[in-house]
Structure formats: C-alpha cells, structure tokens
Structure 1
Amino acid sequence: MPQIAGLTSQYIQVKRETTNNVTYGGDQGFFKEVSGSAEDERKRRLGCGIVAFCDLLLYLAEINPVYQIQEIKNHSDRILTESEYKACFNFVYGFLGGLPEKRNKGLSGFKLSRKFNRMAVAENWKLKAVWGWSGRKLFQRITRMLDQDIPVILCIPMMLFKKDKGKGAAFYKKEGKTYYRACTVSEHYVVVTEVFEENESIYLGISSWGEKYYVNWKEYEKLIHAHFLGTILGNILYIK
C-alpha cells in the first residue's frame, strides 16, 4: 500500500464512555444524549465542521508547541476523555460563532477560512488559509498539506437539486485488501489524514464520526465535477 502523502503523528484519539473504544478523530455524536437541549441536538446534527476544526487545532498543537493555544494546550498528544474533547469542541464552537438556531445549517468553508486566519494572526502563526474553489488543484493541494503535516478539512458537497438528493460520496471500510461501501454521504465535513494507492486506485484516508473511512479519489473527483458548484462546495480548507 504505497503512501503518497500522510500525517506523521498519531491522529486525534478519544475514549468512548459507553464502550471504552478509542476513536479515530472527534465525533459530534458525543452530544447525542448530553442534555437533550436543542443546542446539543444542533451540535450533533450540524457539528461536523466544528469537529474538523477542533481536530485540526489539536493535531497542530501536538506536532508543534507554537500552535498550542491556551484553551487546548493540555488536550494534545494523548487519548482524551469524551468530556475533555467536548470541552475543546465547545471552545471551538464559541470561537466559530456557534450554530444559529434559525438557519438550521452548518458552517460554510469561507467562514472556516476567515476564523482560522483570525486565530493565526492573533497567535502569530505563519499560516494562512483559503477555501478552495478549483477542482483542478484539489489533489495537489491535499497532498501538499499532508506533506507539511497539516490535516486537511474536506467538505463533501451538498446536492443542490432535488434530482440529486441521495447522491454523494461513497465512504468505504476495509477488510484486508477489500473495500466495501459503508455509506453514501453529502453535505458533511471530514478530515483527510492520508493519500495512498492500492488495487490500482488512489484513496483518501479520512476521519469522520470518530471512525476511519476511505474515499476513492477518482469517484470523488467525478462527483464534484458532475454537480452544480461541486468544486466549491466539495473543496478544502487550504492552509499554507
């Protein structure tokens, strides 16, 4: 399984309270039965972008002390409890402006880029983010970020037209060298942690819902070019 690009350190891990299983990244499902409040329900349903942003900050803090902001510096480079992860999530939730009740929508990629740049300036990081729009540059940018040991926030695009409802990106699980489709997903943020080639196909290794999945790159590339605004809605938070 030749790796094309990938993160060099252990990705974010959280021990689930109910099973003691260790996750691969954060999971907005931690808010499933916290308080039963409408706000916690929004976090569970719409919080994938906040999870992705939170995981990005935790990983950056893990690899370089320069990126250890006060609110999360004690939460990096170890297995977190659900409570510890939710504290990080809630900090990021507040920083990003929350999830307004009336909109019933998650966060836009453009907002993620603005907020990241605000934090980078405040913390004197030599990093800058833009939300991508080019499908032609997407693969190169993903591998470039991973080569720099930066997790890649990728948005699986929403399907804007009724005729496309139910379509999306196939998420695969793996048994041995065999990949099987686990689900089909749209309008959802994930974090890309590696790119590799296997069985004459290129795959993105991703974190979503605290699990590791795989996305076939050619299938994803076809998806974003086949749907209206797909290369914008299905792009990445490009950090350089």
Structure 2
Amino acid sequence: MRCQWQSIRTFRFMCKEKPKYEDGWGMAVMNKHRIQRNANGRMAECTLNRPGYVAIKKDGDVFYGGSQMWYEKNGRFSHSDIIRSYGCGTIAAGDLFLYLALQDTGRQNRITRIAMKDGCSIMQEHYISYLECIDSQYTKTKRWIGVTGPKLASAINRYFRFAGIEYEASWAWSLTSSLMLERIEEMIKADIPVILSVGPNTPILWGDAGIPFYLPVNTENEGHVERGYVKSANSNIHGHYVIVTGVIPEPAAGRIILCISSWGRKYYMDYDEYRKYVAGPGGKWTSSLVYVRKKERIRDLSEGLEPGSC
C-alpha cells in the first residue's frame, strides 16, 4: 500500500494488494473513551443486525463482504488491476449499498439486483458485475489515487439520491477519539455499516507505518473460555478502507475491539492502536470515517436522477 499527499483536502488514497507478514501477538491498553453503557453500568457491545454482514459465495466458501483480490492482474493499466490495487473504497461503498438492500427490500433497485440475482444469496460472479456498475457510475476508482474520503462520501450521496434512500453521507474531518467512537456506535446501532479509513502515512509519503489486524483465539483458564486475539498475517495496514460491523468493549482487558470486514474476511482491530496511528503517522484528516445518518431535511429526490445504464 502506497499513498501520496498533495494537500489537506486533496490527499491521494490508495489501497494496494493484501500484504503478507509474519504472525505474532500484540495488544494495546484502552483510554477512557465515552461509550454507551448497559443497565449494569458496563460498556455495551453493539453489532449490525445481520450476523453474516454481506455474505458472498465463491468456490464453496462464504465470504464476509467483498474483496478486491478477486480481480485479476491483467496488465498494469487494466481496469481489473486498478480495482485490485486501489479498489477498497469501491468495495466498501458497494458492500454498504448491498447491506442496506439486504435489510430492506424497499432499498433494492436495478443496480443491487445485479448482485442479488438469486435473492439474498450473492454469488461472486454477480457481485463482480455489480461492482463494475458501482465503480463506473459512482466511485470511479483512479490509478494512484483510488477514491479519497470526500469523493467517496460524494459518491455515496449520489447513490442515495438515485435509490431514494433518505440518508446523507459526509467525510468526518479531524474527529477526536471519543467522538469517532460515538459516531461508530451511532451508526452501528442504526444498522448502518461504517466505512473507516486507515489512512496513508501523512505527510511522510514514503512512510510504511501501519497497524495490525487480528484474528480471534479462545483460551481456557481455570475452566472458563476467554476470548483473545492473535495478529493476522496482515500486520502493517495503512492506506486502506475497511467496514466496521461491530464494537466489542473488553474493560477487563483494557481495550475496545472493532469487528471489521476486509478482503472478504472478518478481522478485528484494537481501537486504541488505531487512534495511536491517527495521532502519529496517520493523521486525522485521512484516517477517519464516512458519517452516514438520516437526512436532517428531505431534499428533492429528483436531484441527481438515475444514471445511465451499466
């Protein structure tokens, strides 16, 4: 993953191919984030209502959302190679639209039905055709640039207008740790997947600092099964969009865990590690989220009518 910086409002955001690193262990200590508590005063876990998120079938496996790695390397300047190398924003937007359509038939349309030819069962080949439409009509992924946060929010708004979905999206500039967590919880509780960026190193364009993704591992301690996490092979992530599907507070371990979808798999992120990256090499302007919520006022839905056929 490589990212280049031009200015605060025109940063280049690219999502290179899935990297490979050695496994290892690692955790972080949580700060005192403001997070909703349940009736017992404990921090409450929250997840999207659909356990399988956007389930996509490929070669007998069921994936947790889409993956840019399904695109082939067909030459450096081919569209397939552009999506494979820089298409994480398009994947995130496409999965957001599909999730909303899966949860509410009123949000299904001719575009989502490209992927949902078999109803709620989404096949990988249909998903790829659907994603081609999303990219050509909305996200328009560019080589070297990918899709920047503000442009991603703009693309999502254009789709919402076409689909008649009374939501609006904006790129959340420079969120504090507490406010970001509140935004994530707000969206998850409203059953809206959260597009989160682990931005590029800023402003050191050649920097290679990143954060790890984790996989779950259960251990038995005195007859009790305890949940833990081990670093995945993807241990230095930067310049990449993910979808947050849940927030898991673990006060006893002193951490908050985010459940995420990336490359078609379920991973976990330590929120404090992420925020330390934001405060350090990542930067608040590029490491942030697309804030989606109900419109404050109903706008004319004839604005930005249906685009041309895919």
With the length of structure 1 as denominator, give the TM-score of the two structures. Answer: 0.89
Give yes or no for the alignment of 1:181 onto 2:223: no
Contact persistence 2:139–2:147 (CA under 8 A): no
Identify which of 56, 79, 86 aligns with 2:96: 56
Contact persistence 2:184–2:194 (CA under 8 A): yes
Q: Which structure has the larger Rg over C-alpha atoms?
A: 2
Q: Which moved more, 1:39-48 or 1:63-72?
A: 63-72
Query: Structure 1: which amino acid aligns with 2:281?
Result: H
1:200-215 superposed matches below 5 A:
200-215=254-269
Query: Structure 2: which amino acid aligns with 1:31?
Result: Y
Cα deviation, residue 63, structure 1: 0.8
Identify which of 292, 299, 303 aligns with 1:239: 292
Distance 1:113 1:162, change over 3 A: closer
Contact persistence 2:244–2:260 (CA under 8 A): yes
1:39-188 superposed matches below 5 A:
39-73=79-113, 75-76=115-116, 78-101=120-143, 104-136=144-176, 137-162=179-204, 165-176=207-218, 177-182=227-232, 183-188=235-240
Cα deviation, residue 21, structure 1: 1.8
Query: Structure 2: which amino acid aligns with 1:218?
Result: D
For 1:70-129, what per-residue CA distance to the aligned partner results, in whole angstroms no more than 9, with x for missing partners?
Answer: 11136346332220110111111112252334xx22101101111111222233321111
Question: Could you tell me how far apart the structure 2 residues matched to 1:75 and 1:41 are?
Answer: 21
Give yes or no for the alignment of 1:5 onto 2:56: no
Matched residue, 1:190: 242
For 1:24-83, what per-residue CA distance to the aligned partner results, in whole angstroms no more than 9, with x for missing partners?
Answer: 1100111135x5572211111111111100100000001112321211136346332220
Q: How many residues align?
A: 234
Distance 1:4 1:162, change over 3 A: same
Contact persistence 2:114–2:127 (CA under 8 A): no
Structure 1 SS opposite 2:96 = helix
For 1:135-164, what per-residue CA distance to the aligned partner results, in whole angstroms no more than 9, with x for missing partners?
Answer: 222110000000000000011110034487
Query: Structure 2: which amino acid aligns with 1:73?
Result: R
Query: Structure 2: which amino acid aligns with 1:221?
Result: R
Cα deviation, residue 238, structure 1: 0.4
Question: Could you tell me how far apart the structure 1 residues matched to 2:79 and 2:280 are?
Answer: 35
Matched residue, 1:219: 273
Question: Could you tell me how far apart the structure 2 residues matched to 1:164 and 1:200 are?
Answer: 33
Contact persistence 1:146–1:193 (CA under 8 A): yes
Question: Could you tell me how far apart the structure 2 residues matched to 1:74 and 1:84 are?
Answer: 6
Contact persistence 1:3–1:194 (CA under 8 A): no
Contact persistence 1:26–1:210 (CA under 8 A): yes
Distance 1:97 1:207, change over 3 A: closer
Unaligned runs of 5+ in 2: 1-42, 219-226, 294-310
Question: Could you tell me how far apart the structure 1 residues matched to 2:267 and 2:198 are?
Answer: 13
Cα deviation, residue 178, structure 1: 2.4
Higher helix share: 1
With the length of structure 2 as denominator, give the TM-score of the two structures. Answer: 0.70
Contact persistence 1:172–1:181 (CA under 8 A): yes
